[in-house]
């Protein structure tokens, strides 16, 4: 899709257009499975000191990125998964010997509402990942928990910066 097409999709999804940085001329959509696989690969590449494990019952453990105030918090996690995805996109271009567009995947800053406070223990300024699916749906991903989430209309309208690279 073109940069203009992507901007139109983001506006239609209720995200302010003037705040988006879309430096590439074309963008490739991504699937939900790509987003999850990217997150898992990024998590696997993190040093153990930057990963938290917790018991989910039945002898199973879950890994999530360690939250470190200002040094490893929401913006660092969202930017990190974006950089990891773009590294993979560049590698795919080299391996396939083909030009590729940027990914319709990135991060955004917005004001988290009360529901997010209850679910993720956050409120106020927050950063997450966004992506566009092959069906041209704008979706959101919480890299701190490794989960697909939705933003309500108010949260979408409060976004103040977004980037795709």
- In whole angstroms, give the CA distance from residue 7 to residue 76: 24
Sign of CA dihedral 1, 76, 15, 151: positive
What confidence score (pLDDT) does residue 119 get?
52
71 and 152 Cβ atoms separated by less than 8 Å: no
What confidence score (pLDDT) does residue 72 get?
85
SS3 51: strand
Of 32, 42, 34, 160, the residue nearest 108 (C-alpha) = 160
Fold of 3-164: Beta Polymerase; domain 2 (3.30.460)
What confidence score (pLDDT) does residue 63 get?
94
Maximum Cα–Cα distance across the chain: 49
Q: What is the DSSP string of 102-144?
A: EESEEEEEEEE-HHHHHHHS--EEEEEEEEE-TT--EEEEETT
- In whole angstroms, give the CA distance from residue 159 to residue 137: 18
What confidence score (pLDDT) does residue 70 get?
82
Q: What is the distance between the terminal CA atoms of the chain, rounded to a whole angstrom? A: 14
124 and 137 Cβ atoms separated by less than 8 Å: no
Integer Rg of the chain from CA: 16
What confidence score (pLDDT) does residue 133 get?
98
Every domain of the chain and the residues it spans: 3-164
Tens of pLDDT, residue by residue, the chain (165 residues) = 999 999 999 999 999 867 889 999 999 999 999 999 999 999 999 999 999 998 888 988 899 999 888 888 999 999 999 999 999 999 988 998 888 889 999 999 999 887 655 555 566 789 999 999 999 999 999 999 999 999 999 999 999 899 997
């Amino acid at each position: 899709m073109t940069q203009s097409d992507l901007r139109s999709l983001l506006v239609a999804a209720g995200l302010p257009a003037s705040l988006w940085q879309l430096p590439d001329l074309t963008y490739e959509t991504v699937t939900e499975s790509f987003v999850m696989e990217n997150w898992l690969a990024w998590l696997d590449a993190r040093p153990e000191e930057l990963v938290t494990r917790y018991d989910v019952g039945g002898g199973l453990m879950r890994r999530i990125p360690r939250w470190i105030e200002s040094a490893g918090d929401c913006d660092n996690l969202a930017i990190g998964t974006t950089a990891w995805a773009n590294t993979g996109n560049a590698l795919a271009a080299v391996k396939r010997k083909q030009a590729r567009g940027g990914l319709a995947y990135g991060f955004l800053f917005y004001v988290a509402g009360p529901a997010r406070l209850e679910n993720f223990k956050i409120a106020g300024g927050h950063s997450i990942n966004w992506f566009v699916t092959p069906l041209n749906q704008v979706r959101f991903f919480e890299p701190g928990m490794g989960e697909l989430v939705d933003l309500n209309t108010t949260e979408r309208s409060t976004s103040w910066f977004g980037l795709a690279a």
